[in-house]
Chain A
Amino acid sequence: DQQVKQNSPSLSVQEGRISILNCDYTNSMFDYFLWYKKYPAEGPTFLISISSIKDKNEDGRFTVFLNKSAKHLSLHIVPSQPGDSAVYFCAAIGNQAGTALIFGKGTTLSVSS
């Protein structure tokens, strides 16, 4: 069973609008969450993260929101740019440093100009 779920395989957004990517998790022991971005033929690139003690973390155009009671997080990109088109992976990690990342299946974001 998948512990990290990204239920939308794809999302299309117009340039300048907001992109919202969603992620749900089932394991209440997860205490740190990350978003990675992946272009074809490249490895995942770290984007932004959030600790379970926070409910929001912002970095430029990227904001991650965490709702622990709902076991849900989301990544907001505003304004979206064509260069944001990529696969976005949500990942979670347990409460021990060095444990493995558990990834969702990814959401392909397409931003049209």
Chain B
Amino acid sequence: GAGVSQTPSNKVTEKGKYVELRCDPISGHTALYWYRQSLGQGPEFLIYFQGTGAADDSGLPNDRFFAVRPEGSVSTLKIQRTERGDSAVYLCASSQTGNEQFFGPGTRLTVL
């Protein structure tokens, strides 16, 4: 019974570079969420997919952030022109019911 997986577990990049973070949800879960957790804070919502479409992207901080889920399963979060303030743990969660969400281990992004 595989849970939510995320790759890479750690990513170090330089300011201005482009990064992609991948999420593999629990098989059969139609809902997928991206959150971002900064030090000392709880996870903050970024974007929600129902199937292939982004049902709610109101949490994306600006247009440097974009996410896709082309086949309704794996999702990729893409960050362009990274800034030091983007450093955080990026968490992915999936859900069948829309209430209980099951999280992956996260990707720790460090922008130097």
Contacts and interface: CB of A to CB of B under 8 A. Distances in A.
Interface of A: 4, 32, 34, 36, 41-46, 49, 89, 91, 93, 96-106
Interface of B: 4, 6, 31, 33, 35, 40-45, 48, 50, 55-56, 59, 91, 93, 95, 97-106
A102 B99 CA distance: 12
Contacts of B44: 103
A89 B42 contact: yes
A101 B106 contact: no
B31 A98 contact: yes
B60 to A, nearest CB: 12
A98 B106 contact: no
A19 to B, nearest CB: 19
Nearest to A89: B42
Nearest to A4: B42
A49 B33 CA distance: 18
Contacts of A4: 42
A106 B42 contact: yes
Contacts of A36: 103
Given A43-B4, A105-B41, A97 B98 contact: yes
B43 A89 contact: yes
A62 to B, nearest CB: 14
A22 to B, nearest CB: 15
Which of A34, A91, A93, A100: most chain B Cβ within 10 A? Answer: A100
A105 B102 CA distance: 18
Nearest to B103: A43
A101 B105 contact: no
A100 B45 contact: yes
Contact of A98 (B43, B48, B105): B48
Given A43-B6, A101-B101, 5 more contacts: A43-B103, A89-B43, A97-B98, A100-B56, A101-B43
Contacts of B102: 46
